[in-house]
Amino acid sequence: MGKELILKTLRHEKTDAVPWVPFAGVHAGKLKGYMADEVLTDSDKLYESLMEAYKLYVPDGLPTLFDLQLEAEALGCDLLWAKNNPPSVQTHPLSGEKSIPCRCKIPTEESGRIPAVLDAMRRVKADIGDGAALYGLICGPFTLASHLRGTDIFMDMITDPGYVTELLEFCGEVAIKMSSMYLDAGMDVIAVVDPLVSQISPKHFNQILAPTFTAVFDYVRSRGAYSCFFVCGNATRQIEPMCKTNPDGISVDENVDMVKAKEITDRYNIAIGGNIPLTTTMLFGTQQDNMKCVIDLLDSMDHHNLIISPGCDMPYDTPIENTIAAAQAVKTPDAVREMIANYEGGGFEDIEIEIPDYGHLDKVLIELFTLDPEQCAACTYMVNVVKDNYEDMKDIADYVVYKYNVKEDIARTMKMGLKNLPTMCINGEPKWVSIIPSREELLEEVRRCAAR
Amino acid sequence: MIELTLLTGFLGAGKTTLLRSLLKGFENEKIGVIINEFGEINIDGVLLQKDGVEMRQLSNGSIFCACIKDKFVTGLIEMSGSGVSRLFIEASGLADPASMERILEGVREQLYTPYDYRGAICVVDAETYLDLQDVLPALRSQVEYSGAVVINKADLAGNGQVEAVSAAITELNAGAGQYVTSFCRLDFREILRRLSPVDRESRESTNTVESRPKTFVLRSAEPVERSSLLRFLRAAAPSAYRIKGFCRTAEDGMTEVSAVGTRIKLRPWEGDGAEPDLVVISSVGIRMMSLIVGALEDCGLRGKLTL
């Protein structure tokens, strides 16, 4: 029933239940005692971890690998590996050199870690392919383009949109090739995961990105398979443009009001998935928090065209019992609703936080409120735009990075009243919310504040 | 010395037809051919398969682009030791051959038998050339670096069009011999006899990995109705520089397909070695993927022609 439930939902048919897709990426490794780098490089360990996730979390749909750096690595980016997170991109081959990679560089079944991934996919397909819909996750073309070009791409979009379009099309060809390999290995759904889509304007999305995304989704459809468009961050204003690229489903995180987003996806008859908060609920919450969150989601929306899942890739250390509780709530909502009838939750308000006296600082204070500067691509690029240009403003500004997987930082984010991450505050004022400024915009703002 | 001739011309102008006539005319000699195509699949190689022809196929880019220039150089060296008396090189449709002589100079020391570079013959489509030369700089370069220009498909050209094409070619390269024809019917021995390399300095080719058009390959999983195939080609061809290759049809079995703009040709294929692959060379970038998928659905070909 699990697999069919997902496929029916992505075909927009009526279902008896709401499907559940736990995004257990590196977290699946934790279930077998493997670290993130092990599960992302060793096909045996990946296979074992996925089988364990299938057993423990009873998923209707199961992502096989959640690593948005896989394609970038195959295309020449150096990665920084971590034990508890997917790797992050350290070098950008096209930084300082505005060119398009040769098509001969498009990954093949032999490139980088792809052979190990395909091997694990085939084995998982053979063992549980009838039970769960298997998701092949690929790096979205815009995030891949940013991996290749670095933060310059945000300025390029303004000064040389033709170049960005060409680079996007190249990354779209990579996405099509990855989709083709994953479908051949037995994947039922291709998820195009592009966190950076939330960081640009709908105008830029429509002009530069949309044709490439549409091409990828059309390709997947031509293969008789299903597609989903995953985005992270505050993608509220992108939901409609994303629908127009015609995926079968869209997936959002806690930065998006899912009830309002579903009103839009329903108009386009596209399924929507989400959006259990990754850190406050899944990582730091209790079992009751997770149950309540799922029940609240189920009770706030019509169940047609709906998938319940975490907002994005689950943190490595997510307590297993929390995920099990979320699964339980999706599978037996009536029983769980009774269990949590009087539960309130919360707890971060009690942590003491000192807010700087912004009016009396020696230097301009740049505060970067992130989900995780290594794991979340949008956060990485927002942090990097400050780091890369800090030399030019170090005499007049300080900067500090907060992470939403540290309890004190969560409390600080709440005390500042910030609703969306990443956000960059300048002297306490949220200046860029889910938008990455160009170097020029950043320097201008810092200098303006310093002159006051 | 091995006589070396380069054949250039845009997609669908008639290079392969010309090469076919040339091979027929030299049946008694051992001939070498290097065929270069943009896509992953080499269609012209199948069309030209013939006994006694030493063939190399270079796909996935232009031989003048850094991406496969090394393979081109290796091909030239190997061919010089294969005992052929003549070598014809069919460049890909958007090849900019400006660096040809520079490449030959670079490999001179490594050749088994030296090449006598006779120059380039460029084939242009009388009907479409004037429109295309404005948008595709490589086409001007092809004319500039040619010793002879064949103005082909004169039968399809409108009033005064052949004269206008001729004038445009004279403006670019007054020294090139011009030959007006249809179906590439020519006294090619006469062309070859009078051919000489242009007196123009060799320069870097403008072919780069970026300037290469996107190609998509469609495989026929099962035979399709000829009428459905025609409908599909009519829908897709206006957004493609060229569609060519083979497709299995219910009526004729393996069928050779060639489409340039609105001109579409289907011919039963009686030769060997053809795989049922259609190559679509996009003129609209990656959007071609969506146009193809839409057209396949509209023509009832979803699942029958697969990407």
- Contact assignment for B61 to A219 by CB distance below 8 Å: no
Residue A349 and residue A410: Cα distance in Å, rounded?
10
Chain A residues lying within 8 Å of B67, measured CB to CB: 102-104
Quickly tell me which residue has 């791409």 as its tokens.
A153
The pLDDT tens digits of the residues spanning A44-89 come to 999 999 999 999 899 999 999 999 999 999 999 999 999 999 999 9
Residue B101 and residue A438: Cα distance in Å, rounded?
45
Chain B residues lying within 8 Å of A216, measured CB to CB: 289
Correct CATH for B2-194 of 1.20.140.10, 2.60.40.10, 3.40.50.300, 3.40.50.11540: 3.40.50.300
The pLDDT tens digits of the residues spanning A295-319 come to 999 999 999 999 999 999 999 999 9
Chain A residues lying within 8 Å of B214, measured CB to CB: 169, 173
How many interface pairs between A and B have CB atoms less than 8 angstroms apart?
58
ipTM confidence score: 0.77
The CA radius of gyration of chain A, in Å to the nearest whole number, is 21
- Contact assignment for B286 to A104 by CB distance below 8 Å: no
Residue A271 and residue B128: Cα distance in Å, rounded?
46
Contact predicate A329/A294, CB 8 Å: yes
Of A103, A172, A173, the CB nearest to B60: A103
| Average pLDDT, rounded, for chain A | 93
- Residue B40 is predicted with a pLDDT of 65
| Average pLDDT, rounded, for chain B | 89
The SS3 assignment for A34 reads coil
The SS3 assignment for A423 reads strand
| CB neighbourhood size of A246 (10 A) | 17
The pLDDT tens digits of the residues spanning A96-132 come to 888 898 888 899 999 999 999 999 999 999 999 999 9
Chain A residues lying within 8 Å of B285, measured CB to CB: 165-166, 169, 211
Quickly tell me which residue has 């009770």 as its tokens.
A299
- Contact assignment for B289 to A169 by CB distance below 8 Å: no
Instruction: Give the CATH fold of the B215-306 domain.
Output: Hypothetical Protein Yjia; Chain: A;domain 2 (3.30.1220)
Q: Binning pLDDT at 50, 70 and 90, where does residue B126 land?
A: very high
- Residue B211 is predicted with a pLDDT of 63
**Which one has a higher pLDDT value, B180 or A345?**
B180
| Residue A365 in tokens | 């204070």
Chain B residues lying within 8 Å of A166, measured CB to CB: 210, 285
Share of chain B above pLDDT 90, in %: 56
Residue A63 exposure: Cα atoms within 13 Å on the Cβ side: 29
Mean pLDDT to the nearest integer, A9-19? 97
A34-43, A94-103, A277-286: the lowest-pLDDT one? A94-103
The pLDDT tens digits of the residues spanning B9-32 come to 998 889 988 998 888 888 888 999
pLDDT for A405 beyond 80: no
**Which one has a higher pLDDT value, B52 or A330?**
A330
Quickly tell me which residue has 């989709």 as its tokens.
A179
Asked if A184 has any chain B CB less than 8 Å from its own CB, the reply is no
Residue B171 and residue B163: Cα distance in Å, rounded?
12
pLDDT for B158 beyond 90: no
Mean pLDDT to the nearest integer, B56-75? 85
Please state the length of chain A. Answer: 452
Where do the domains of chain A lie, and which CATH numbers do they carry?
Answer: 2-339 (3.20.20.210), 350-451 (3.40.30.10)
Residue A229 and residue A235: Cα distance in Å, rounded?
12
**What are B7's strand-pairing partners?**
B90, B121
Asked if B2-194 and B215-306 have one fold, the answer is: no
Q: Cis omega (within 30 of 0) on the bond before A422?
A: yes
Mean pLDDT to the nearest integer, A268-291? 94
Q: Binning pLDDT at 50, 70 and 90, where does residue A212 land?
A: very high
Share of chain A above pLDDT 70, in %: 99
| Residue A410 in tokens | 């969560």
pTM of the model: 0.81
- Contact assignment for A102 to B61 by CB distance below 8 Å: yes
- Residue B210 is predicted with a pLDDT of 61
- Contact assignment for A176 to B209 by CB distance below 8 Å: no
Q: State how far the alpha carbon of B83 is from the alpha carbons of B78, B79, B219, B230, B231, in Å.
A: 10, 8, 37, 44, 47
Q: Which of A75, A153, A78, A150 is nearest to A114 (CA)?
A: A75
Q: Which of A436, A400, A404, A398 is nearest to A419 (CA)?
A: A404
Phi–psi pair at A332, nearest 5 degrees: -130, 65
- Residue A92 is predicted with a pLDDT of 94
- Residue A43 is predicted with a pLDDT of 97
Q: Which of B139, B167, B99, B175 is nearest to B8 (CA)?
A: B139
- Domain residue ranges in chain B: 2-194, 215-306
- Residue A375 is predicted with a pLDDT of 67
